[in-house]
Amino acid sequence: MSADEKPVGVAVLGLGNVGSEVVGIIEDSADDLTARIGAPLVLRGVGVRRVAADRGVPVELLTDNIEELVAREDVDIVVEVMGPVEPARKAILSALEHGKSVVTANKALLSVSTGELAQAAENAHVDLYFEAAVAGAIPVIRPLTQSLAGDVVQRVVGIVNGTTNYILSEMDSTGADYHSALADASALGYAEADPTADVEGYDAAAKAAILASIAFHTRVTADDVYREGITHITPDDFASARALSCTIKLLCICERVEVDGQQRVSARVYPALVPLSHPLAAVNGAFNAVVVEAEAAGRLMFYGQGAGGAPTASAVTGDLVMAARNRVLGSRGPRESKYAQLPVLPIGLASTRYYVSMNVADKPGVLASVAAEFAKREVSIAEVRQEGVVNEGGQRVGARIVVVTHRATDGALSETVAALEDLDVVQTVASVLRLEGTD
Amino acid sequence: MSADEKPVGVAVLGLGNVGSEVVGIIEDSADDLTARIGAPLVLRGVGVRRVAADRGVPVELLTDNIEELVAREDVDIVVEVMGPVEPARKAILSALEHGKSVVTANKALLSVSTGELAQAAENAHVDLYFEAAVAGAIPVIRPLTQSLAGDVVQRVVGIVNGTTNYILSEMDSTGADYHSALADASALGYAEADPTADVEGYDAAAKAAILASIAFHTRVTADDVYREGITHITPDDFASARALSCTIKLLCICERVEVDGQQRVSARVYPALVPLSHPLAAVNGAFNAVVVEAEAAGRLMFYGQGAGGAPTASAVTGDLVMAARNRVLGSRGPRESKYAQLPVLPIGLASTRYYVSMNVADKPGVLASVAAEFAKREVSIAEVRQEGVVNEGGQRVGARIVVVTHRATDGALSETVAALEDLDVVQTVASVLRLEGTD
Domain ranges of chain A: 8-136+310-329, 141-306, 348-435
* Residue B280 contacts residue B274 (beta carbons within 8 Å): yes
Does B319 have pLDDT greater than 70? yes
Average confidence (pLDDT) over B157-163: 96
Does B3 have pLDDT greater than 80? no
Contact at CB, A296 and B317, closer than 8 angstroms = yes
Does A435 have pLDDT greater than 70? yes
Whether B16 has a binding-site annotation, put simply, is yes
Residues 6+ apart with CB under 8 A from B212: B156, B218, B220, B224, B225, B254, B265, B267
Average confidence (pLDDT) over B342-362: 94
CA distance B198 to chain A (A): 22
User: What is the per-residue pLDDT across A79-128, written as a single tens digit (0 to 9) for each?
Assistant: 999 988 999 999 999 999 999 999 999 999 999 987 899 999 999 999 99
* pLDDT above 90: percentage of residues in chain A: 85
Contact at CB, B33 and A150, closer than 8 angstroms = yes
| B20: confidence class by pLDDT, cuts 50, 70, 90 | very high
Average confidence (pLDDT) over A292-320: 94
| B133: confidence class by pLDDT, cuts 50, 70, 90 | very high
| B387: confidence class by pLDDT, cuts 50, 70, 90 | confident
Average confidence (pLDDT) over A116-143: 94
Minimum CA–CA partner of A143 in chain B: B139
Find the distance separating the first CA and the last CA of chain B, reported in whole Å: 53
| B4: confidence class by pLDDT, cuts 50, 70, 90 | low
Q: Output the CA torsion B140→B144→B148→B152 (10° steps).
A: 130
| A1: confidence class by pLDDT, cuts 50, 70, 90 | very low
* Residue B37 contacts residue B4 (beta carbons within 8 Å): no
Distance of CA B394 to the CA centre of its chain: 45
- Binding-site residues of A for L-homoserine, please? 192
Please report the number of interchain residue pairs, chain A to chain B, with beta-carbon separation below 8 angstroms: 196
Residues of chain A with C-beta less than 8 angstroms from the C-beta of B217: 32, 35-36
Classify domain A348-435 at the CATH class level: alpha beta
CA distance B338 to chain A (A): 9
Contact at CB, A296 and B311, closer than 8 angstroms = yes
Q: What homologous superfamily does CATH list for A8-136+310-329? A: NAD(P)-binding Rossmann-like Domain (3.40.50.720)
> Cis (ω within 30 of 0) for the bond into A84?
yes
Residue type for A14, please?
G
Does A3 have pLDDT greater than 70? no
Does A430 have pLDDT greater than 80? yes
CB contact, 8 Å: A424 with chain B?
Answer: no
What average pLDDT does the structure give for chain B? Answer: 94
Residues 114-153 of A with CB under 8 A from B: 131, 137-139, 142-143, 146-152
Query: Which pLDDT score is estimated for A413?
Result: 97
Residues of chain A with C-beta less than 8 angstroms from the C-beta of B142: 139, 142-143, 146-147
| A394: confidence class by pLDDT, cuts 50, 70, 90 | confident
Taking the C-alpha atoms of residue A151 and residue A368, their distance in angstroms, rounded to an integer, is: 47
Q: Which residue from A136, A271, A129, A279 is spatially nearest to A214, judged by alpha carbons?
A: A129
Residues of chain A with C-beta less than 8 angstroms from the C-beta of B122: none
Fold of A141-306: Dihydrodipicolinate Reductase; domain 2 (3.30.360)
- Binding-site residues of A for NADPH, please? 107
Average confidence (pLDDT) over B293-315: 94
CB contact, 8 Å: B334 with chain A?
Answer: yes
Does B373 have pLDDT greater than 80? yes
Q: Which residue from B408, B297, B300 is spatially nearest to B350, judged by alpha carbons?
A: B408
Q: What is the CA radius of gyration of chain A?
A: 25
Phi, psi torsion values for B145, nearest 5 degrees: -80, -30
User: What is the per-residue pLDDT across A62-78, written as a single tens digit (0 to 9) for each?
Assistant: 999 999 999 999 999 99
Does B28 have pLDDT greater than 80? yes
Residues 6+ apart with CB under 8 A from A136: A288, A304, A305, A306, A307, A308, A311, A312, A314, A315
> Is A363 known to be catalytic?
no
Taking the C-alpha atoms of residue A166 and residue A176, their distance in angstroms, rounded to an integer, is: 12
Residues of chain B with C-beta less than 8 angstroms from the C-beta of A288: none
> Cis (ω within 30 of 0) for the bond into A87?
yes
Query: Which pLDDT score is estimated for B393?
Result: 87
Does B322 have pLDDT greater than 90? yes
Query: Which pLDDT score is estimated for B296?
Result: 96
User: What is the per-residue pLDDT across B196-228, written as a single tens digit (0 to 9) for each?
Assistant: 999 999 999 999 999 999 999 999 999 999 999
pTM surpassing 0.90? yes
CA distance A38 to chain B (A): 10
Sign of torsion over alpha carbons A93, A99, A105, A110: positive
ipTM over 0.90: yes
Contact at CB, B301 and A301, closer than 8 angstroms = yes
